[in-house]
């Protein structure tokens, strides 16, 4: 579910998206609970951070999942994306040599 378009147009999570959240999250959780050894964390990115109604939305999400929601900063969001991409790449090394 992408909140971005709604939030960046109106500065809030639309009522339609807010109403879709419970069913969407419960559907995802039903798939996740098959994996008992999975470590679960619930995060939201820049759209949630920018929304005027983020506290209300976060409370709804936390009540559904039973876990705290972490709203990521821009830097944390970038790091998560980088880590995710790197997890699919073969091991590698980056060397940073200064140019003279």
pLDDT digits (tens, 9 = 90+) for 64-79: 888 888 999 889 999 9
Q: What is the mean pLDDT of residues 19-29?
A: 87
Asked if pLDDT for residue 56 goes beyond 80, the answer is yes
Q: Is residue 23 part of a domain?
A: yes
Geometric angle at alpha carbon 71, from 70 and 76, rounded to 5°: 100
In a domain, 18, yes or no: yes
Domain contains 86: no
Q: Give me 10's structure tokens.
A: 């109106």
47 falls within a domain: yes
The CATH number that applies at residue 45 is: 3.30.420.40
Helix axis angle, 54-65 relative to 15-32, nearest 10°?
A: 30
84 inside domain: no
Give me the pLDDT at residue 79, please. 93
Rg (CA), the chain: 17
Query: Does residue 81 belong to any structural domain of this protein?
Result: no
Is 91 part of a structural domain of the chain?
no
Task: Provide the domain limits for residue 29.
Answer: 4-73
Largest interatomic CA distance in the chain: 58
Q: Mean pLDDT of all residues in the chain?
A: 84
Number of domains into which the chain is organized = 1
- Is the model's pTM score more than 0.75? no
Of 87, 82, 12, whose CA–CA distance to 50 is shortest?
Answer: 12
């Amino acid at each position: 579910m992408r909140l971005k378009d709604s939030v960046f147009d109106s500065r809030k999570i639309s009522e339609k998206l807010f109403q879709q959240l419970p069913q969407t999250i419960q559907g995802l959780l039903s798939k996740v609970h098959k994996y008992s050894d999975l470590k679960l964390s619930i995060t939201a990115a820049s759209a949630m951070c920018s929304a005027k109604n983020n506290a209300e939305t976060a409370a709804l999400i936390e009540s559904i999942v039973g876990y705290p929601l972490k709203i990521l900063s821009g830097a944390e969001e970038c790091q998560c994306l980088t880590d995710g991409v790197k997890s699919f790449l073969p091991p590698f090394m980056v060397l940073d040599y200064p140019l003279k």
